Amino acid sequence: MLKGVNIMPETIFVSQWVARGVPRLLASYPQKNLDPNLIVDIFGLILREEEEPHEGFYIVSYPENAIFSEKYAGRNFVGYFSGLELKQLVGLILEEKEEPEPYRGALVRIALRLFRRGEIPTAEEEWEDIWTQMLAYTKMPIEQRIADIFRDVEARVILSTMVDEGVLTLDDLVRKAREKISFPTTRDLLISYAYALSALGVLEIRFDEKALVERVYLISDVVFYKRKPTKFDIIMRVPALKELYSQRVSEYISTWEAEAEKIPELIGRSDVYNLIQRFRNEGLIKKDSLSQDEQTIAEKLRAEGIIVEFGGDYVMLFDPTYKLLFPKWTIARFIEKCREDMAARELLKNWLNILKEAYLRRR
């Protein structure tokens, strides 16, 4: 949905590439009677310059002189293709004048959820939930989007691998990540996570024209931690709370790494995030002013040490959040590697240029 304009996509669909055959429509929502020939046209637009689709994000515009031009001419279609293991394209038909870029991250995240479950949803309620998630994702703050992806172990393993290595080919990243994950996972799924992290500015994926391989570059390390709450003055005014805060800080210093994995599950969920935002703004909330659902969430936050109950009120003790860190230690290790590896020096040069571009974009 475009900001300030009541426009939203027409339909989300899932289709399958069939080598030497006709692509198949597997599902669509809310429009359920998509013409299969439209799916053939979309794949045709993707394949204009390729013999077969490759994993990644695509934006195509429907031409003026095709079968469905009367309805779709000039309209954008966005899609994420899984790769040739799953061979699935998750796509979005946009309305006229609707821009595709706001849906990039949302579409990749929805594609991940579909690929991860391993089967196409069939129930109306499931598709309604997917549709709602997709629209909600476009409005999520970056903090919540980053937390949401790191709720999944695959994303955490990929980041950990990249922090260790700095630069890898996409195939090497998949191989190393698979070695660390204790359950079976497809190549396409791991590559999709890499693209999702790229959309969030954590990684960058570039095609190396000399080596004819795709390389992945670490742009930012991500750390989840508990910080001092915005309304810290509330704690300082009450001696008992001040003492409790000092005690909890001492405990947190020795346990913060173990607790970091719990934070994405908190701020990555919309219902929990909304209540955390309220605590950030107010600091103290009367228990009886919360709904039953909110009290359930508050008790979860209390169990995780985010808030405490004090005299019939809930008080925020810590604010769970994240930070993107410049990967200086990874770069330092990579520089050491370059002392004995001439090929690595060219990779380092490319990586530093990509880092410069990425951080200039953030200004």
Q: How far apart are CA 320 and CA 260, in angstroms?
A: 9
What DSSP string runs through 53-95?
--SEEEEEE--SSSTTHHHHTT-EEEEEE--TTT-EEEEEEPP
Find where tokens 């692509």 sit.
23
Parts of the chain with a pLDDT under 70: 1-7, 49-51, 363
Residue 170, Cα to own-chain centre: how many angstroms? Answer: 18
Helix (H, G, I), strand (E, B) or coil at 6: coil
Query: In the 8-state DSSP scheme, what is residue 123?
Result: S
Find where tokens 């953030």 sit.
362
Find where tokens 């549709």 sit.
131
Q: How far apart are CA 319 and CA 158, in angstroms?
A: 26
Q: How many CB atoms lie within 10 A of CB 164?
A: 12
Strand partners, 93: 11, 77
pLDDT of residue 47: 82
Query: Taking the CA of residue 341 as centre, how many other CA atoms within 13 Å lie in the half-sphere pointing to its CB?
Result: 12
Q: How far apart are CA 22 and CA 36, in angstroms?
A: 9
Strand partners, 204: 217
Q: How far apart are CA 170 and CA 175, in angstroms?
A: 9
Cis peptide before 264 (omega within 30 of 0): no
Helix (H, G, I), strand (E, B) or coil at 228: coil
Find where tokens 């089967």 sit.
119
Given a contact cutoff of 8 angstroms between Cβ atoms, the answer to whether 180 and 169 are in contact is no
For 58, phi then psi, to 5°, come to -130, 140
Q: Domains in the chain, start-ordered, CATH in brackets?
A: 11-139 (3.30.450), 145-220+326-361 (1.10.10.10), 223-323 (1.10.10)
- State which amino acid sits at residue 125: E
Can you list the pairs that 231-237 forms with residues at least 24 positions away whose Cβ atoms lie under 8 Å? 231/280, 231/282, 231/283, 231/284, 231/316, 233/283, 234/283, 234/284, 234/315, 235/315, 235/317
Cis peptide before 30 (omega within 30 of 0): yes
pLDDT of residue 327: 97
pLDDT of residue 19: 79
Q: How far apart are CA 53 and CA 49, in angstroms?
A: 10
Given a contact cutoff of 8 angstroms between Cβ atoms, the answer to whether 111 and 83 are in contact is no
pLDDT of residue 3: 44
Could you give the maximum distance between any two Cα atoms of the chain, in Å? 75
Residue 77, Cα to own-chain centre: how many angstroms? Answer: 21
Q: How far apart are CA 335 and CA 327, in angstroms?
A: 12
